[in-house]
Amino acid sequence: MGVKEIATYFFFRFSVLLWSIKGIGLLFLVFIKSPYNFFKKGNWNDTPKNANDANLGVHGNVTLQRSKLKITYVANGKRGNPLMLCVHGFPECWYSWRFQLKEFSSKYWVVAINLPGYADSDKPSELANYTAERLIDNLAEVVEALGYEKGTIVAHDWGGALVWSFASLYSSMCDKVIIMNAPHSTALRKMFGTLKQYRKSWYMFFFQLPWLPEMLMGCCDLQMFNEFFRGEESGVKNLENMTEADVDVYKHALHSWEARKCALNYYRANIGNVSPQFIERLKKSSISCPLLLIWGTEDFALSLELAALSAKVSNLVSVEYVAGASHWVQQDNPEEVNKYMWKFLN
């Protein structure tokens, strides 16, 4: 291990310690504010009404040939049309693509999956199942299991982080790629050197702890999800597009301790823990298809500069900004997002 690797290791461990203090403090404040509701847990076993909206599509699932995982999805449009595969982020599920499922079903077979660990998809227990390399290989298996050789890949947040690499490693499976509010890994590493992004990313370090992040997400009957999606700081700006009934779908998807642990494992398996073999694999690949990056300018977790930095990784990458939109850009302003998508796809 060289000097750089040693410095990175100790910086990561220091950051986990530092920002865990903030996370634990937040958990304590929630308890003090509402001690009687802290351990409250509602009945989230029944599927929320909004998730069963037939206008959004048909529920289905596939079993991946090599990993044997069951992946659930909602699909809209005619099977046999070009595939549009939609990959969600944290802490979401297929439902984050509800506006795109309807919009693009006239031309595409739009399939919005639940990533491993989310909702009704399988939840492998071992942390190794949530490494980026394993999850990217899973996405390739999904395309194959759906009966396609390639498609248009659309992704957001953690889904976007995976698809940046998927577009390099599995370029033959990509007609076009659209990523929303998710930076390329090289851009994020560069911006981690700035205090602005380092402070915004505090939760990534807190999530390295066992138990406590799951508890924070689940306390007070999953109240934290209301803060994620409808809160003044982190939530959508257009609350009409994110009602409490909409948030209930995400609560249902991650209501169990097991599901929340799986979702958090995406951070635990990848932040500060990328295998040298995977890095070498990425170095030998490159993006060879058109890629559109759509970026909501009011992202609470990711600096605006990340969009321009990400665009520099390839001359095939273009950027469209959605002014005033939050991190949840495709839900916050679906009209503008869909307009940019159609422009790019046509």
Angle of helix 212-230 relative to helix 3-33, nearest 10 degrees, comes to 70
Q: Is 70 helix (H, G, I), strand (E, B) or coil?
A: strand
Helix (H) or strand (E) holding 197, with range, is helix 195-200
Report whether 325 contacts 334 (CB < 8 A). Answer: no
> What's the rounded Cα separation, in Å, for the pair 250 and 51?
9
Residue identified by tokens 């249902």 is 252
Active-site annotation holds for 255: no
> What's the rounded Cα separation, in Å, for the pair 297 and 117?
29
* Active-site position among 184, 267, 299, 340: 267
Peptide bond into 35 cis (omega under 30): no
* Active-site position among 120, 122, 157, 248: 157
Paired residues of 81 in beta bridges = 79
Active-site annotation holds for 184: no
**Exposure of 186 in the CB half-sphere (CA atoms within 13 A):** 12
Strand ranges for 162-306 from DSSP E: 174-180, 291-296
Report whether 142 contacts 115 (CB < 8 A). Answer: no
Helix (H) or strand (E) holding 112, with range, is strand 109-113
DSSP string, 135-160: HHHHHHHHHHHTT-S-EEEEEETHHH
> What's the rounded Cα separation, in Å, for the pair 331 and 223?
20
Active-site annotation holds for 321: no
> What's the rounded Cα separation, in Å, for the pair 343 and 346?
5
Catalytic residue numbers? Answer: 157, 267, 327
